[in-house]
């Protein structure tokens, strides 16, 4: 594969146009055939053959039998053991009185228990609520209250973080702790007492998942994304949203082969190294669902470490990894890379953060793998555009064309007028991957979701073949290694400090992470605060990745335009970006 991939950009290409390939793959009777259905009253193209629900997907996945599904350190779980664990936990949830529409929260790092909990909840009609495992106790408390979760599944580390917050969430009926670190009691019970440890799941009873009356557009998940007002918003996704990604990713793979002039072969299960958290849509929706459908093996890491990752790639014969550009950069530039055999790598794909066009070339030339890139957001349940291999190498500034079931358009910022081809404006997206809206936030929903379209807040342009180019962000987001940091959230914490009267958070370039948060602050007359003091202030109130890596102080209020908006572009000059990188 390495030699083949290394010649991707040198071949006579493309052998077929996008229009020709799309027509071949989506023709009547083909795997990627489409049909039009009404979703919340809006006619929408969908994948005709996609699984209807996660309940159907888990039944299908059982057919992968004794193939390894997840591997975490010494723990290996087969698909058969996974199914038995899902069925057993779903039965336990029914015993707890869980009904369709009830919210079941998860707060844990990537562990074999995570997908079991997610599928058990989803398969009986509950709504899974993955919470950011990096959040502070206060942030987790907010997510539990906002979602109205009845039951929380949590690992020992997060449980310790929430011990002082549980009393503030009276709606929680039960807290199920796996790998507990603190003594249990009261509402807090051991996960292992319900279905055992991963090593015991293969011996669980052979029983069906309890029946649930599920439909494709039923609610299934709430993923939280920070809002520009500073409070997190829960994006309410459906079974169809999640299942769409399975076919979208498979379509992109088949399209790449046809563009090369070859014919797609039946897909074979692949081994993937997952290094991004499952509480993100990229990992859960775009990555996990496709692997479950294809019978892939998913390798979990306790914590990202590039040399440990290379050792895993060599030992496990990993075919795919990525998630964010940081991962690829660290593999390429690590001084120990030559000591490991990485020849099994076929694909390194990523999205969710700015990526240098140079990265695609270096993945191909130095790792012998095909680079892949795409665009999506929490509100689109991940994949809307995607490309890989030659398409990406020939348009490295692009995030790819939309998959056939998606539509893109570029709108003026007034939200009324569509702009001509090639002009930059706000990117709007439509398709079966667009979520219903924001949980319990009707005003924010009405502002963002318009007749099937989502207003993304990203500034973009489209070329004459439909390839999308993200050129800037209308919303003030700093994307640090794939993690969204909404400026206003950090700014609000800075404003709460008694010495701060004016503050702005911006992104400064970082070679591997894409960018990092930095702040510019004006202090009240007669007041004092140091950089370290303000960083500690933020760290006590927000997750560590949101803490500004640098803070600059100015003697006047921050520069603003006529509408009172801070001119953040002018503030970037205050930072030595070379030092930040």
284-329 confidence digits (pLDDT tens): 999 999 999 999 999 999 888 999 999 999 999 999 999 888 788 8
Average pLDDT over residues 76-90: 98
Whether this prediction's pTM lies above 0.85 is answered by yes
Per residue in 486-529, pLDDT (tens digit) is 787 898 899 889 898 888 999 999 988 889 999 999 998 888 99
Task: Indicate where the chain has its CATH 3.30.300.30 domain(s).
Answer: 477-580
For residue 566, the model assigns a pLDDT of 77
- Local structure of 6: helix, strand or coil: helix
Q: Which helix (H) or strand (E) holds 442?
A: helix 442-448
Q: Is the pLDDT of residue 552 over 80?
A: yes
Task: Indicate where the chain has its CATH 3.40.50.12780 domain(s).
Answer: 2-48+237-473
Q: Which residues pair with 128 in a beta bridge?
A: 104, 221
C-alpha closest to that of 135 among 275, 277, 235: 277
Task: Report the first-to-last Cα separation within the chain, whole angstroms.
Answer: 33
What is the domain class of 477-580 according to CATH?
Answer: alpha beta
For residue 562, the model assigns a pLDDT of 46
Under DSSP, the state recorded for 433 is: T
Average pLDDT over residues 231-249: 95
Task: Indicate where the chain has its CATH 3.40.50.980 domain(s).
Answer: 77-214
C-alpha closest to that of 498 among 466, 521, 469: 521
Question: What b/e string do you get for 53-88 counting C-beta neighbours within 10 Å, with b at 16 or more?
Answer: bbbbbbeebeebeeebbbbbeeebbbbbbbbbbbbb
CATH architecture of 77-214: 3-Layer(aba) Sandwich (3.40)
Per residue in 170-184, pLDDT (tens digit) is 999 999 999 999 999
For residue 11, the model assigns a pLDDT of 57
CATH architecture of 2-48+237-473: 3-Layer(aba) Sandwich (3.40)
Mean of per-residue pLDDT scores for the chain = 92
Average pLDDT over residues 218-241: 85
pLDDT category, 138, cuts 50, 70, 90? very high
């Amino acid at each position: 594969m390495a030699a083949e991939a290394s010649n991707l950009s040198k071949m006579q290409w493309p052998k077929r146009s996008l229009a020709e390939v799309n027509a071949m793959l989506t023709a009547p009777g083909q795997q990627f055939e489409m049909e039009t259905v009404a979703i919340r009253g809006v006619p929408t193209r969908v994948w005709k053959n996609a699984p209807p629900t996660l309940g159907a997907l888990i039944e299908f996945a059982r057919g992968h039998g004794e193939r390894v599904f997840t591997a975490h350190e010494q723990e290996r779980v087969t698909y058969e053991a996974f199914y038995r664990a899902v069925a057993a936990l779903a039965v336990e949830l029914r015993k707890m009185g869980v009904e369709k529409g009830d919210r079941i929260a998860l707060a844990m790092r990537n562990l074999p228990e995570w997908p079991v909990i997610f599928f058990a909840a989803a398969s009986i009609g509950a709504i899974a609520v993955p919470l950011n495992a990096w959040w502070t106790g206060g942030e987790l408390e907010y997510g539990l209250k906002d979602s109205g979760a009845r039951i929380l599944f949590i690992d020992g580390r997060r449980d310790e973080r929430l011990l002082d917050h549980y009393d503030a969430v009276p709606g929680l009926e039960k807290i199920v702790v796996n790998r507990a670190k603190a003594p249990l009691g009261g509402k807090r019970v051991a996960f292992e007492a319900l279905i055992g440890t991963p090593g015991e799941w293969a011996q669980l009873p052979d029983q069906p998942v309890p029946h649930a009356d599920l439909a494709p557009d039923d609610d299934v998940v709430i993923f939280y994304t920070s809002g520009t007002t500073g409070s997190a918003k829960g994006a309410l996704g459906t079974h169809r949203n999640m299942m769409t990604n399975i076919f979208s990713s498979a379509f992109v793979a088949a399209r790449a082969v046809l563009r090369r002039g070859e014919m797609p072969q039946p897909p074979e299960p692949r081994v993937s190294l997952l290094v991004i958290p499952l509480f993100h849509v990229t990992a859960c929706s775009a990555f996990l669902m496709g692997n479950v459908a294809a019978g892939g093996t998913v390798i979990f890491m306790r914590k990202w470490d590039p040399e440990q990752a290379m050792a895993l790639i060599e030992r496990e014969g990993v075919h795919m990894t990525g998630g964010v550009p940081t991962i690829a950069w660290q593999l390429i530039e690590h001084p120990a890379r030559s000591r490991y055999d990485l020849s099994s790598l076929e694909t390194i794909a990523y999205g969710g953060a700015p990526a240098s066009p140079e990265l695609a070339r270096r993945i191909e030339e130095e790792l012998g793998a095909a680079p892949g890139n795409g665009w999506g957001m929490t509100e689109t349940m991940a994949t809307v555009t995607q490309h890989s291999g030659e398409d990406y190498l020939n348009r490295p500034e692009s995030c790819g064309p939309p998959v056939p079931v998606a539509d893109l358009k570029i709108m003026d910022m007034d939200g009324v007028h569509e702009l001509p081809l090639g002009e930059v404006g706000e990117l709007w997206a439509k398709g079966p991957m667009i979520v219903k809206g924001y949980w319990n936030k009707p005003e924010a929903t009405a502002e963002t979701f318009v007749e099937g379209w989502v207003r993304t807040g990203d500034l973009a342009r489209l070329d004459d073949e439909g390839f999308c180019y993200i050129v800037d962000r209308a919303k003030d987001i700093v994307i640090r290694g794939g993690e969204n940091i909404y400026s206003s959230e950090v700014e609000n914490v800075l404003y709460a400090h008694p010495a701060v009267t004016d503050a702005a958070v911006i992104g400064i370039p970082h070679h591997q992470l894409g960018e990092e948060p930095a702040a510019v602050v004006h202090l009240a007359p007669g007041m004092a605060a140091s950089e370290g003091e303000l960083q500690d202030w933020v760290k006590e109130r927000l997750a560590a990745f949101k803490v500004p890596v640098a803070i600059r102080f100015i003697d006047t209020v921050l520069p603003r335009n006529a509408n009172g908006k801070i001119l953040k572009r002018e503030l970037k000059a205050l930072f030595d970006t070379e030092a930040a990188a």
